[in-house]
Amino acid sequence: MEGLSERQYAARVGLSRGAIQKAKATGRLVLHGDGSIDAEASDTLRAQATDPSKTRKAPKPKLKPVPEAAVSAVGETLREQGMAAPPVGSGTTFLQAKTANEVLKAQERRLRLQKLKGELIDRARALSLVFRLARQERDVWVNWPARAAALMAAELSASCSEVVGQEIVVEPATMQKVLEKHVRAQLDDLADIKPDLR
Protein backbone atom coordinates (compact mmCIF):
# COMPACT_ATOMS: atom_id res chain seq x y z
CA MET A 1 0.00 0.00 0.00
CA GLU A 2 1.48 3.31 -1.07
CA GLY A 3 -0.66 5.61 1.12
CA LEU A 4 -3.02 5.40 4.08
CA SER A 5 -6.16 3.34 4.50
CA GLU A 6 -9.50 5.05 5.15
CA ARG A 7 -9.24 4.18 8.81
CA GLN A 8 -5.68 5.53 9.13
CA TYR A 9 -6.51 8.75 7.31
CA ALA A 10 -9.65 9.24 9.43
CA ALA A 11 -7.54 8.94 12.58
CA ARG A 12 -4.98 11.38 11.14
CA VAL A 13 -7.49 14.15 10.34
CA GLY A 14 -9.85 13.51 13.27
CA LEU A 15 -12.92 12.51 11.23
CA SER A 16 -15.06 9.41 11.14
CA ARG A 17 -14.43 6.67 8.60
CA GLY A 18 -17.84 7.42 7.10
CA ALA A 19 -16.84 11.04 6.48
CA ILE A 20 -13.66 9.86 4.74
CA GLN A 21 -15.68 7.44 2.57
CA LYS A 22 -18.03 10.31 1.64
CA ALA A 23 -15.08 12.58 0.75
CA LYS A 24 -13.58 9.75 -1.32
CA ALA A 25 -16.86 9.22 -3.19
CA THR A 26 -17.21 12.95 -4.00
CA GLY A 27 -13.64 13.24 -5.24
CA ARG A 28 -12.25 15.38 -2.41
CA LEU A 29 -9.38 12.98 -1.72
CA VAL A 30 -6.31 12.15 -3.84
CA LEU A 31 -5.83 8.42 -4.27
CA HIS A 32 -2.82 6.34 -5.27
CA GLY A 33 -3.08 3.70 -7.98
CA ASP A 34 -3.75 0.96 -5.39
CA GLY A 35 -6.72 2.92 -3.93
CA SER A 36 -4.87 4.09 -0.82
CA ILE A 37 -5.06 7.76 0.18
CA ASP A 38 -2.25 10.23 -0.53
CA ALA A 39 -2.36 12.07 2.79
CA GLU A 40 -0.54 15.33 1.94
CA ALA A 41 -2.25 15.85 -1.39
CA SER A 42 -5.65 14.97 0.12
CA ASP A 43 -5.13 17.46 2.94
CA THR A 44 -4.43 20.22 0.42
CA LEU A 45 -7.41 19.27 -1.77
CA ARG A 46 -9.75 19.01 1.22
CA ALA A 47 -8.62 22.43 2.47
CA GLN A 48 -9.41 23.98 -0.93
CA ALA A 49 -12.71 22.16 -1.44
CA THR A 50 -14.14 22.37 2.07
CA ASP A 51 -16.28 25.29 3.23
CA PRO A 52 -14.43 26.71 6.27
CA SER A 53 -17.71 27.49 8.03
CA LYS A 54 -18.61 23.79 7.98
CA THR A 55 -15.35 22.45 9.32
CA ARG A 56 -15.08 21.26 12.84
CA LYS A 57 -12.62 23.16 14.88
CA ALA A 58 -10.61 21.21 17.37
CA PRO A 59 -12.24 21.78 20.73
CA LYS A 60 -10.28 24.10 22.95
CA PRO A 61 -9.79 22.76 26.42
CA LYS A 62 -12.10 24.51 28.83
CA LEU A 63 -9.97 25.72 31.69
CA LYS A 64 -11.91 26.99 34.63
CA PRO A 65 -10.25 29.65 36.73
CA VAL A 66 -9.23 28.34 40.12
CA PRO A 67 -10.86 30.29 42.96
CA GLU A 68 -8.45 32.30 45.08
CA ALA A 69 -9.79 30.49 48.18
CA ALA A 70 -8.62 27.15 46.77
CA VAL A 71 -5.16 28.52 46.00
CA SER A 72 -4.85 30.01 49.49
CA ALA A 73 -6.02 26.69 51.01
CA VAL A 74 -3.19 24.92 49.16
CA GLY A 75 -0.74 27.48 50.53
CA GLU A 76 -2.06 27.10 54.10
CA THR A 77 -1.81 23.31 53.93
CA LEU A 78 1.75 23.47 52.66
CA ARG A 79 2.75 26.02 55.34
CA GLU A 80 1.19 23.85 58.09
CA GLN A 81 3.48 21.03 56.99
CA GLY A 82 6.55 23.29 56.91
CA MET A 83 6.80 23.24 53.11
CA ALA A 84 7.37 26.13 50.72
CA ALA A 85 4.08 27.75 49.73
CA PRO A 86 3.52 30.04 46.75
CA PRO A 87 3.32 33.76 47.51
CA VAL A 88 -0.21 35.17 47.69
CA GLY A 89 -1.43 36.20 44.25
CA SER A 90 1.05 34.04 42.34
CA GLY A 91 0.15 30.76 40.69
CA THR A 92 0.37 27.40 42.37
CA THR A 93 2.35 24.72 40.59
CA PHE A 94 0.82 21.34 39.88
CA LEU A 95 3.37 19.72 42.19
CA GLN A 96 2.44 22.04 45.07
CA ALA A 97 -1.28 21.38 44.56
CA LYS A 98 -0.69 17.62 44.36
CA THR A 99 1.44 17.71 47.52
CA ALA A 100 -1.25 19.68 49.36
CA ASN A 101 -3.87 17.21 48.14
CA GLU A 102 -1.85 14.24 49.45
CA VAL A 103 -1.30 15.98 52.80
CA LEU A 104 -5.03 16.67 53.13
CA LYS A 105 -5.88 13.07 52.25
CA ALA A 106 -3.46 11.84 54.93
CA GLN A 107 -5.00 14.21 57.49
CA GLU A 108 -8.49 13.05 56.55
CA ARG A 109 -7.48 9.39 56.94
CA ARG A 110 -5.92 10.14 60.33
CA LEU A 111 -9.13 11.86 61.52
CA ARG A 112 -11.28 8.99 60.23
CA LEU A 113 -9.07 6.49 62.08
CA GLN A 114 -9.24 8.54 65.30
CA LYS A 115 -13.03 8.65 65.00
CA LEU A 116 -13.19 4.88 64.49
CA LYS A 117 -11.01 4.38 67.58
CA GLY A 118 -13.38 6.57 69.58
CA GLU A 119 -10.80 9.31 70.14
CA LEU A 120 -12.97 11.91 68.38
CA ILE A 121 -16.61 12.77 68.81
CA ASP A 122 -19.08 14.55 66.58
CA ARG A 123 -18.93 18.32 67.23
CA ALA A 124 -22.68 18.89 66.83
CA ARG A 125 -23.44 16.03 69.21
CA ALA A 126 -20.94 17.34 71.78
CA LEU A 127 -22.48 20.82 71.62
CA SER A 128 -25.93 19.32 72.08
CA LEU A 129 -24.79 17.34 75.14
CA VAL A 130 -23.09 20.36 76.73
CA PHE A 131 -26.19 22.46 76.09
CA ARG A 132 -28.41 19.80 77.70
CA LEU A 133 -26.07 19.56 80.73
CA ALA A 134 -26.02 23.36 81.13
CA ARG A 135 -29.81 23.47 80.91
CA GLN A 136 -30.12 20.80 83.64
CA GLU A 137 -27.83 22.82 85.91
CA ARG A 138 -29.71 26.04 85.17
CA ASP A 139 -33.05 24.37 85.97
CA VAL A 140 -31.68 23.07 89.27
CA TRP A 141 -30.45 26.57 90.24
CA VAL A 142 -33.69 28.24 89.15
CA ASN A 143 -35.69 25.96 91.46
CA TRP A 144 -33.20 26.14 94.33
CA PRO A 145 -34.34 29.39 96.02
CA ALA A 146 -37.90 28.06 96.40
CA ARG A 147 -36.62 24.87 98.07
CA ALA A 148 -33.91 26.50 100.18
CA ALA A 149 -35.85 29.59 101.36
CA ALA A 150 -38.12 27.72 103.78
CA LEU A 151 -35.22 25.70 105.20
CA MET A 152 -33.07 28.80 105.70
CA ALA A 153 -35.96 30.72 107.28
CA ALA A 154 -36.48 27.91 109.80
CA GLU A 155 -32.80 27.75 110.68
CA LEU A 156 -32.48 31.51 110.93
CA SER A 157 -35.59 31.98 113.07
CA ALA A 158 -34.20 29.44 115.53
CA SER A 159 -30.90 31.28 115.75
CA CYS A 160 -32.14 34.88 115.51
CA SER A 161 -30.69 37.32 117.96
CA GLU A 162 -33.66 39.66 118.32
CA VAL A 163 -37.05 40.60 116.94
CA VAL A 164 -37.69 44.24 116.09
CA GLY A 165 -41.38 44.83 115.47
CA GLN A 166 -42.39 42.06 113.09
CA GLU A 167 -38.93 41.72 111.58
CA ILE A 168 -36.37 39.15 112.61
CA VAL A 169 -32.86 40.51 112.86
CA VAL A 170 -30.13 38.06 111.89
CA GLU A 171 -26.41 38.54 112.25
CA PRO A 172 -24.61 38.72 108.85
CA ALA A 173 -22.19 35.96 109.90
CA THR A 174 -25.10 33.67 110.78
CA MET A 175 -26.82 34.40 107.47
CA GLN A 176 -23.58 33.68 105.62
CA LYS A 177 -23.12 30.32 107.40
CA VAL A 178 -26.69 29.20 106.61
CA LEU A 179 -26.44 30.37 103.00
CA GLU A 180 -23.06 28.66 102.53
CA LYS A 181 -24.43 25.43 103.99
CA HIS A 182 -27.34 25.38 101.52
CA VAL A 183 -25.21 26.42 98.52
CA ARG A 184 -22.73 23.63 99.30
CA ALA A 185 -25.58 21.12 99.54
CA GLN A 186 -26.84 22.36 96.16
CA LEU A 187 -23.36 22.01 94.62
CA ASP A 188 -23.09 18.47 96.00
CA ASP A 189 -26.40 17.64 94.28
CA LEU A 190 -25.08 19.15 91.03
CA ALA A 191 -21.96 16.99 91.25
CA ASP A 192 -24.23 13.97 90.84
CA ILE A 193 -25.24 15.13 87.34
CA LYS A 194 -23.07 13.23 84.88
CA PRO A 195 -23.03 13.96 81.15
CA ASP A 196 -24.48 11.11 79.11
CA LEU A 197 -22.15 10.81 76.11
CA ARG A 198 -24.19 8.14 74.35
The pLDDT, as a whole number, for residue 87 is 66
What are the domain boundaries of the chain? 6-54, 68-117, 123-191
The set of residues, in sequence order, having a beta carbon less than 8 Å from that of 159 and lying 6+ positions away, is 170, 174
Distance (Å, rounded) from C-alpha 134 to C-alpha 113? Answer: 31
pLDDT of residue 90: 62
State the pLDDT confidence band at 46, using cuts at 50, 70 and 90: confident
pLDDT (average), residues 156-183: 72
Place 194 in a pLDDT band, splitting at 50, 70 and 90: low
Rounded to whole angstroms, the Cα distance separating 114 from 117 reads 5
Predicted pLDDT at 55: 65
Task: Indicate if the pLDDT at residue 74 is higher than 80.
Answer: no
Q: What is the mean pLDDT of residues 176-195?
A: 78
Tell me the percentage of the chain whose pLDDT exceeds 70: 76
Q: CA distances (Å), 40 to each of 2, 13, 22, 29, 31, in order?
A: 13, 11, 18, 10, 11
| Alpha-helical runs (H) found in the chain | 6-13, 17-25, 39-49, 68-80, 94-117, 123-158, 172-191
The answer to whether 4 and 37 are in contact (CB under 8 A) is: yes
The chain-wide mean pLDDT, for the chain, equals: 78
User: Residues 76-96: what's their mean pLDDT?
Assistant: 71
